[in-house]
């Protein structure tokens, strides 16, 4: 059994990243096809501005999902369970739905789907870290890292809830252009901040002592 566990831990990161690469490539292809088929992007209007904010946020979200998965797979080793292979398919379907709801009139649906993706990714990251903590191969990272508590998830719950509530509001009031713009800017800002945080934690995980000290000061 020990040999099987070791073999599974050794090969799973490659299997996971190969699967996710295919999923993300399909999502990017859908996003690019949407850009090519959208005429109003180059108009001087609030609709065009919102569309560009939405496109940039969507692209950033797709990249962020890859960064989270890739950084975890490269940094840690854990014994995978069935859900580790199922989540990429679920996230892929949600990303396809996110791209399909791009554009005016469906911003509310887009925000709701983004909130679901955000919540699912928080769940994926937490379960991955939880299993990685149990594996002795990762002791160097988790030795001085306290276990997560419910308080650590308050901000994530607030973000997912805020995105979802904004989406529900815009579903009921799709013509509120100002709220739509504010919601899209907020969503893009949240994703940009998450990207920054992922970069900072990556540096703390694999950097030198000097790099870690600099990352902690940021």
Q: What is the tens place of the pLDDT at every residue in 35-49?
A: 999 888 888 888 889
Does 216 fall in a domain?
no
- Per-residue pLDDT tens digits for 169-215: 999 887 777 889 999 999 999 999 999 988 888 887 776 444 444 54
DSSP 83-116: HHHHHHHHHHHHHHHHHHT-STT-HHHHHHHHHH
What value does the mean pLDDT take over residues 17-26? Answer: 95
The alpha carbons of the chain give a radius of gyration, in whole angstroms, of: 19
Q: How confident is residue 57, by pLDDT bands cut at 50, 70 and 90? A: very high
Q: Is 173 helix (H, G, I), strand (E, B) or coil?
A: coil
Count of domains observed in the chain: 1
The pair of three-digit structure tokens given for residue 40, joined into one six-digit string: 């109003």
Q: Could you tell me the pLDDT band of residue 1, with boundaries at 50, 70 and 90?
A: low
Q: Is there a domain that residue 215 lies in?
A: no
Of 180, 42, 32, nearest to 107 by C-alpha is: 180
Query: pTM of the predicted model, to two decimals?
Result: 0.87
Host domain of residue 114: 2-209
């Amino acid at each position: 059994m020990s040999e099987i566990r070791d073999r599974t831990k050794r090969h799973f990161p490659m299997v996971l990243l190969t699967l996710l690469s295919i999923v993300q490539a399909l999502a990017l292809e859908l996003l690019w096809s949407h850009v090519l088929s959208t005429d109003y992007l180059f108009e001087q209007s609030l609709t065009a501005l919102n569309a560009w904010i939405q496109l940039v946020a969507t692209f950033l979200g797709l990249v962020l999902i890859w960064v989270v998965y890739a950084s975890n797979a490269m940094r840690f080793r854990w014994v995978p369970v069935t859900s580790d292979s199922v989540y990429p398919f679920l996230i892929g379907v949600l990303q396809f739905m996110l791209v399909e709801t791009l554009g005016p009139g469906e911003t509310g649906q887009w925000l709701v789907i983004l909130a679901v993706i955000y919540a699912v990714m928080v769940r994926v990251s937490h379960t991955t870290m939880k299993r990685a903590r149990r594996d002795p191969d990762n002791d160097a990272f988790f030795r001085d890292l306290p276990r997560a508590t419910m308080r650590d998830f308050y901000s994530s719950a607030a973000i997912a809830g805020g995105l979802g509530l904004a989406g529900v509001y815009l579903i009921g009031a799709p013509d509120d252009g100002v709220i739509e713009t504010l919601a899209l800017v907020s969503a893009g800002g949240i994703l940009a901040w998450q990207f920054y945080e992922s970069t900072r934690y990556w540096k703390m995980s694999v950097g030198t002592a000097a790099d870690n000290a600099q990352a902690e000061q940021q």
